[in-house]
Amino acid sequence: MTKLEDDIPRRPTWAEIDLDALAGNLHLIRERVGQGVSVMAAVKADAYGHGAVACARRLEAEGVNWFGVALPEEGIELRAAGITRPILCLGGFWEGQQQACLQQDLTPVVYRLDLIESLDRAAQAAGVVADVHVKIDTGMGRLGVRSEDVRQFCEALSRFRNIRVDGLMTHLASADDPAQEDFTKDQLERFQQAIDLFHDRGVAPRYLHAANSAGAFAYPRARENLVRPGATLYGLKRDVLPPNIEAGQLRAVMSVRSRIMLLKTVAKGEKLGYGCTFETTRESLIATIPIGYDDGYRRALSNRGRVIVRGTFAPVAGRVSMDLTLVDVTDVSGVSLHDQVTLLGRDGELSITAEDLAELTGTISYEITCGISARVPREYSDPATGE
């Protein structure tokens, strides 16, 4: 950001990040999984849109054991911000990144022998032993060593003298779906078979982990000695956990707000917005809000979404455009220019959740939070922890 941009006032659109809620969610998860189980906070994808650095700082202060990122680049950002807890690169690393992993003390997930060989060479040259977590594909079908190949893979690992298998992991595909319980149990059984194969060959990783948020809440067996919560850390639950699982007092961490930049009276029968998809059925008061789909307020909310103004729900009128959204505030008593508008979060007795927006747009709650773009500034409840 340039100096000029720092000096000028921002448009009144922002995301509030409640770090106290984040900390509370971490402690609730700790209570749920019990003593003896470490917690790896998933802060990949900029902490699901909440701001990885600020969230990691608060979580580290609260005693979280590990951080999970997708890419070494994300781990390097955390190290540059002073984060010291162990960091697991869940997607592994790309060719040429092995030295950065060693220099930044990042633990990669591994599943390819050629990449392990490159890491082994780099570790040998640096005079260190590199920790890795081996991922087993027990049915997700993305990354990992196929279950039927585990024996051969484990045997091949013995030739790498500067590699230590510190963890063994898998990922559950459908732990949130009670109808897929048999599949999830089959995945856990395959994972146990892989653990046994490693143990038979004298490899006893310190960490065993299979549970994402749904697994951690719904399948005690999946917890092993490390869990990897993501969405539940940020207070997302309705489309994350099985419907029969009580989530406790998880609290949403993100709210998104803006302010009315223009009010105008529109006659009955006028059409508004791109494509003229909204037509007034009465004389109406229409507010323009400085937020649009480039900010992450999805175009699919056109004529379907609603916001909160002065304690009243007000519907989106017409198509959400790139930078602006129209709202029908005819029924909002006393509405004025510059009034605050809540697009996500709580305002008084009313709330709009990420799950609500996800249901309207045919997606999942954490795609909603991940999608709030970087041009929406994050404001943190604890300024000392923010950027």
Task: Tokens 């051969």: give the residue.
Answer: 152
Q: Does residue 274 carry a catalytic annotation?
A: yes
Query: Is residue 288 a contact partner of residue 261, using CB atoms and an 8 Å limit?
Result: yes
Q: Could you tell me which of 256, 263, 257 has the C-alpha nearest to residue 337?
A: 263
Provide the residue type at 87 as one letter. I
Name the active-site residue from 3, 44, 264, 297: 44
**SS3 of residue 363 by DSSP:** coil
Query: Is residue 174 a contact partner of residue 122, using CB atoms and an 8 Å limit?
Result: no
Would you put residue 233 in left (φ > 0), alpha (ψ -120 to 50) or beta? alpha
Q: Write the DSSP assignment of 148-160 as a string of letters.
A: GGHHHHHHHHTT-
The Cα 260–Cα 49 span in angstroms is 24
Name the active-site residue from 185, 268, 271, 274: 274
Give the helix/strand (H/E) hosting 76: helix 72-80
Q: Could you tell me which of 288, 336, 329 has the C-alpha nearest to residue 312?
A: 329
Cβ within 8 Å of residue 61, ≥6 positions away: 385
Cβ within 8 Å of residue 232, ≥6 positions away: 25, 29, 213, 216, 217, 240, 241, 247, 250
Q: Does residue 366 carry a catalytic annotation?
A: no
**SS3 of residue 243 by DSSP:** coil
H-type alpha helices, 113-253: 113-126, 150-157, 181-200, 213-218
Query: Is residue 250 a contact partner of residue 23, using CB atoms and an 8 Å limit?
Result: no
Catalytically active residues are 44, 274
